[in-house]
Amino acid sequence: QQPVQSPQAVILREGEDAVINCSSSKALYSVHWYRQKHGEAPVFLMILLKGGEQKGHDKISASFNEKKQQSSLYLTASQLSYSGTYFCGSSGGSYIPTFGRGTSLIVHP
Partner 1 sequence: DAGVIQSPRHEVTEMGQEVTLRCKPISGHDYLFWYRQTMMRGLELLIYFNNNVPIDDSGMPEDRFSAKMPNASFSTLKIQPSEPRDSAVYFCASSRDTYEQYFGPGTRLTVT
Instruction: Tell me which DSSP letter residue 96 carries.
Output: -
Instruction: Indicate the residue type of 61.
Output: S
* Residue 68 touches partner 1, criterion: CB under 8 A: no
The number of residues that bind partner 1 (CB under 8 A) is 20
Of 14-22, 34-42, 56-64, 67-75, the segment contacting partner 1 by CB under 8 A is 34-42
Among 1, 13, 94, 109, binds partner 1 (CB under 8 A): 94
Among 87, 103, 105, 107, binds partner 1 (CB under 8 A): 87
The burial class, CB within 10 Å (0-12 / 13-18 / 19+), for 61 is middle
Q: What angle do CA 50, 53, 57 make, to 5 degrees?
A: 120
Cis amide linkage into residue 7, ω under 30° from 0: yes
Of 18-26, 63-71, 74-82, 93-101, the segment contacting partner 1 by CB under 8 A is 93-101
How many Å apart are CA 81 and CA 71, to the nearest integer?
Answer: 22
Q: Which is nearer to partner 1, 16 or 36 (by Cβ)?
A: 36
Q: Which is nearer to partner 1, 78 or 103 (by Cβ)?
A: 103
Q: Would you state the torsion angle of the CA atoms of residues 92, 96, 102, 103, taken in this order, to the nearest 10 degrees?
A: 70
- Which residue ranges make up the site for partner 1 (CB under 8 A)? 2, 30, 32, 40-44, 47, 87, 91, 94-102
